[in-house]
Structure 1
Amino acid sequence: MQHIIDRFISYVTIDTESDPNSATTPSTKKQLVLANLLVKELKAIGLTEISIDKNGYVMATLASNVTHDVPTIGFVSHYDTTPDFTGKDVKPQIISNYDGKDILLNAAQNIVLSPKYFSDLLLYKGQTIITTDGTTLLGADDKAGLTEIVTAMEFLVKNPDIKHGKIRVGFTPDEEIGRGAHHFDVEKFGCEWAYTMDGSQIGELEYENFNAAGAKITFKGKSVHPGYAKGKMINSMLLANDFINTLPKGEIPQETKGYEGFYHVTQLSGSIEESHLELIIRDHDAKKFKKRKDFIHSITLKMNAKYAKQFGSDIVITEIKDQYYNMKEKVVPVMHIVDIAEKAMRNLGIKPLIKPIRGGTDGCQLSYKGLPCPNIFAGGHNFHGKYEYVPVESMQKAIDVIVQIVQITASGDYVKKDKIVKIKKKSISKRKKQ
Structure 2
Amino acid sequence: MSFPKNKITFLLIGSLFISCFVIAQDKINQKISYGNPSEVNMDSLYIHTKVDSIVNDGIQNEAFPGAQILVVKNHKIIFNKAYGYHTYDSIQKVSLDDIYDLASVTKIIGPLPALMKLHSEGKLDLDSPFSNYWKPWKRRKDKKNLTVREILAHQSGLSPYIVFLNEVLKKNGKIKKRFIQNKSNKRYKNEAYEGLFVKNRFKNKMFRQINRSKVSNVKKYKYSGLSFLIYPDLITQITQKNYTEYLQENFYTPLGTTTLGYRPKTKNFKNLIVPTEIDTLFRKGLTKNWVHDENAALLGGISGNAGLFGTSLDLAKVMQMYANYGVYDGKRYISESILREFTKIQYPENENRRGLGFDKPLINNATLSIKEAYPAPEVSPESFGHSGFTGTFVWADPKNDMIFIFLSNRVYPNRKHRNIYNLNIRPKLQQVFYKAIQN
TM range (shorter): under 0.3
Structure 1 length-normalised TM: 0.27
By percentage of residues, which structure has more strand?
1
